[in-house]
Amino acid sequence: MRYVAMDFETGNASPLSACSVGISVFEDHALVRNEVQLIRPPAEVGKFHWGNIRIHGIRERMVANSPAFDEVWRALRDDVCGGVLVCHNAMFDTAVLCACLNYYHLPLPDCAYVCTVKVSQRVWPELINHKLNTVSEALGIPLNHHEAGSDAQAAGFILQAALQKTGSGDVCELAERIGMRLGRISPAGKSPCSIAKEACGKTARANRN
């Protein structure tokens, strides 16, 4: 089994302001590669917002000489296409990915994706919340929060822990056990990762495994 965890940081509220991306590649339940890359957003998205800078510490001058997204994507495309993309709060990260691809007139990849917020809500419902730092702490996963490489790696380890907790051999089996529909990105568009309301009973049974 192979899956790729991804995390974006942005300079402001625009999804086109991606200024950092982290990627972690897992094969056969083991982390085989972890990378982080700064990105220079298009000038027209505007200045970085102080609130975003406070969260991730990345300033405009730090990305001034970094590659634009289209160049960064060339190095990531083969990892993402045809696989399973893993994100903590996938609604955000997949929106950034698709917006940046559309801006540069690049085709969307063909891949399934899974949101580890939704996974953790079903597998560990007892947690006070399902933010990345909360889930990571509960599972003993090291985290330098809001550093894209660390966030991506943590999302991948959360999925790995969920697979083990539920006795699932792969993401498709996990989705079936917890009543999840995997999201999908393709050249035709994007469909959401979602949890069926009737999954509550399945989740309780999975948590007893």
CATH of the domain at 108: 3.30.420.10
pLDDT of res. 195: 87
Residue identified by tokens 């498709």 is 172
pLDDT range class, residue 82, cuts 50, 70, 90: confident
**Total domains present in the chain:** 1
Expressed as residue numbers, the domain containing 149 is 2-207
Local structure of residue 127 (DSSP, 8 states) = S
Question: Distance between CA 133 and CA 144 in Å, rounded?
Answer: 9
Burial code of 145-164, b = ≥16 C-beta within 10 A, e = fewer?
ebbbbbbbbbbbbbbbbbbe
Q: Give tens-digit pLDDT for 143-184.
A: 999 999 999 999 999 999 999 999 999 999 999 999 999 999
pTM of the model: 0.91
Calculate what percentage of the chain has a pLDDT beyond 70. Answer: 94
Q: Give tens-digit pLDDT for 85-139.
A: 999 999 999 999 999 999 999 999 999 999 999 999 999 999 999 999 999 999 9
Closest C-alpha to 123, from 156, 91, 68, 163: 163
Residue 78 CB partners (closer than 8 Å, separation 6+): none
Question: Distance between CA 135 and CA 141 in Å, rounded?
Answer: 8
